[in-house]
Amino acid sequence: MSKKIQFDLFSPQAGQSWHQLEERAHRCEKLGFHTMWLVDHMWTRGMPDLDHHECMALMAGLSAKTDKLRIGTMVICNNYRNPALLAKSLATIDHISNGRLEIGYGAGWMDEEYKAYGYQFPSMGTRLKMFEEGLHIMKAMLSEKRATYKGRHYSVEEAICNPKPVQQPHPPITIGGSGEKVMLKLVARFADRWNCPAGYESFEHKFNVLKSHCKDVGRDVNTIDISEQLLVCIGQSDAEVEAKWKAAQMLKPFVSTGIKGTPKQLIEELRKRVAMGITTFVIFFSDFAPPPTLELFAKEVMPAFA
């Protein structure tokens, strides 16, 4: 049985007011997008002065203002919040949304942001170890009556997290990353979904590495939803597409693995990716998703995969 193909909106909140974000969420819900994904940053690299709302508060607010759309963050930075408190907050948001929370989780990377906000910026190896401990604690907090875990960086003892989330045993956990030695191994052990970030050299190679890690830990890779962070450049005509694609060249690394075309051409491009095993597309529109772009994609591309 083939998996249902899902289309999500990657929606960094840079430069958007609360009311604009609320309006976008309502539009996504109406058009049939599966999830709206925010980002966990204090500002946007290269555009630090733009307004940029904090993601946990936004997820709670958008959850209260929508009915069907799932809400997530691509991805929450482990180092910005104690993982036990993070689990408690996420369980609460799952209740506010009546079971529509998506947990995107990662090890963190934006060094200037850490330093500006007074966080230590450990080595990549240490951040990955901290992230692994955070995964242990989060799963325990969300699914066990009492959570106890003693790690090098984090510990919990008989920690209570009630009420448990609406989604049991916990909301779906998406791990975003493609590091072959550690990150994909953590995907095999902990994730419900793997999101392959834009800018990869070979999706097939990364997917094969994940399959190998799944085999090593005794997990069926088919129990993991495979998603891609994908730049999409859509237009009504070839001329419109090419003009938008030219403007999109500044969007690195997204543009290196992005796709462009009219609706008919994009359907063919997406079918190639489905054949590779991708079932969820986390789409970053090259023109930053104004209403006409969202509507064109939803009405002329998405039905081909219903």
Q: Nearest 5°: phi and psi at 184?
A: -70, -25
pLDDT digits (tens, 9 = 90+) for 78-108: 999 999 999 999 999 999 999 999 999 999 9
- Residue 210: its pLDDT value, please? 98
Pairing of strands 173-176, 101-106: parallel
- Own/partner long-range contacts of 144-150 (Cβ < 8 Å, ≥24 apart): 147/84
Range list of β-strands (E), 80-172 = 101-106, 147-150, 155-159
The domains of the chain, with CATH numbers, are 12-171 (3.20.20.30)
Whether the CB-CB separation of 193 and 225 falls below 8 Å is answered with yes
What does the buried/exposed string (b/e) look like for 79-96 if buried means 16 or more CB atoms within 10 Å of the residue's CB?
A: bbbebbebbbbbbbbbeb
The percent of residues in the chain predicted with pLDDT above 70, rounded, is: 99
pLDDT digits (tens, 9 = 90+) for 45-62: 989 999 999 999 999 999
Average pLDDT over residues 119-135: 98
Average pLDDT score, the chain = 97
pLDDT digits (tens, 9 = 90+) for 214-260: 999 999 999 999 999 999 999 999 999 999 999 999 999 999 999 99
| Burial degree of 126 (CB within 10 A; 0-12, 13-18, 19+) | middle
Indicate left, alpha or beta for 32 from its phi (over 0: left) and psi (-120 to 50: alpha): left
Average pLDDT over residues 178-199: 97
Longest CA pairwise span in the chain (Å): 62
Pairing of strands 155-159, 147-150: antiparallel
- Residue 3: its pLDDT value, please? 83
Average pLDDT over residues 53-72: 98
147 pLDDT higher than 50? yes
Q: pTM, whole model, 2 decimals?
A: 0.96
Please tell me the distance from the alpha carbon of residue 69 to that of residue 106, in angstroms, as a whole number. 22
